[in-house]
Structure 1
């Protein structure tokens, strides 16, 4: 993932982490690429000075406590934090790869085999989180990073203890991403259960397999309406037949009708094994597939952008906070990665080479002189012309050479 240079007002280090550049920014903070004294890369999140107050510090401290509790091989690891510092900061594992949303928009949907492998990986990770008494509550493609060692889940800033009365939000507040939000979450029901994560994972897998979400509309308000309407089913168009039953269950309107994360893992295994492959093989193939396409079109292999042609990126829906039952009507902001920071990696656009400048065209007589005599092989002089040389320039050069040869032959003593 690319980063931009630090600004003059940015800190150069925090909590022993040297800051190397900016990864992106979210609504409340800036995210930097950092490095520990031992050289370990990290995503360092810092609250903006403009929003540092007692309430933001309290929310930040609660986020830190959640991250200390969450662990697992598919979870970006907690590395350190200080909510009481003058600039509160939080460091997590840096995952060098694009988020799933950006990847699908750049390279297209995943095959059903790889979508099932992704589902098994993420469902197993969520199952471990739920076992710890937590749930994510904001799972979406932007919060799934496709790293060199496989996918990892980030941004547990909205995570909450499922059995606790402690809440990160005020009463009647809806927090999450509308296109991946479960109906009961969009309706502001409390308390929520781990079934909201199953629904969100179903929305993520639907997007991975088709490039679209269960419900899409022009505004977040319209999305909220579609999600909460029991009579409006999810859009499952384009879903491969082998994934249809799985996604139908995960995106059920009623939380009681959705499978558990463990059941999702088993159904994903069934899809994989039905295609003659073991789940471990499918996992490796998923990582190899995403890494190969990423490396092929990564910044190191992409053509340098021309100054006159701007870099083009893609946008996603982000987390929104709204009072239930009224939904927000604000425009959709950009995608996020590494705890709410937009992924600044540009989408590589195909650059066509500029045509060689032409100053004229050959006359029919010149074209005839280009052709070799019948039965006579072409000479070295008739090799393909270099791209920078025009036809007129080549014809003029040949005429000049012919004149020189004629003059030389007239003066030669033999």
Structure 2
């Protein structure tokens, strides 16, 4: 037992003396987690950012100006008025995701096409190819504004001329099919309403704002409620989980490469020549590696708690996950050392394998945005369980019950990696 403690103490002291390793394994994940956390939405107290769009208003008709005013009044948009050349230049340079052009005569043409469906005017949209999602959002908001303003214009007294043209375009009464007959009745009633409004306006009477036609609009309002078992969603919680998993796995690679270097320089043989068993030496490596990994994870999340207001809803669950993931990482490092032929070859393969594990585990991009088949496939990846477990005890607020299965999976992978590594070391020792 004394020999095991001495081996663990030796590994911990050597690691703490390596300032480069400390900076790589602690400082870098905190910096990258802060960056990715801001991309994932930041803290829950941060307001939603607006979408910047350019607006080229070439149609100075009342309809064109009202569409522009509606876009500017939308809470989700930040509209910048530009010329056509400026809009194209900014979108092409990546300074604006989308630019909307309301061409000259658009309002009248849109009103004319509202019921006929013919000769629809085009509404040019310039967009950055990397911002297709933003384009879809802007198209939805634009559709709402155009429909509301255009239909309000047609329904008002100013739309009498448009309605008259609709009626004139219909066949004679005795030649209309049932659909055209119904449309004619509707347009006739609308024309009477418009004439009445026009007569009222001509007589000098004021129409109240409540009586003025407001046009077609979305017939409902949404009431959003973000639901989780614990605190509000915090983008930094997931990013610290992902970056913590990634850099601690890199620490496991360094541990495995360290054993290969010790083999290469003969230090490993001298260590095994001491009055300690191979099992004790391997246990010392695993325990010291697990301690380092667990402490690193706790230190990273201490920064997350103090600086970025991440909340841990189950301290026991979090510590359990940190310890189990630390054991899996240490066993992974031992696995690299057992099956690596040279430090150079093992490092390249191990780094590639780690990046694949991190990518599929949802450390860079949350796994819930993966396609369903990929979400199912990545359940065989240990990092997926580690990240999901850390999410469970932070922003999801699931408590200890949300961490138990990820802890068991991590221990299972630790046994697999460790068992294979020990079997290989014992086989090599007998040769």
Same fold (TM over 0.5): no
Structure holding more helix per residue: 2
Q: TM-score, normalised by structure 1?
A: 0.22
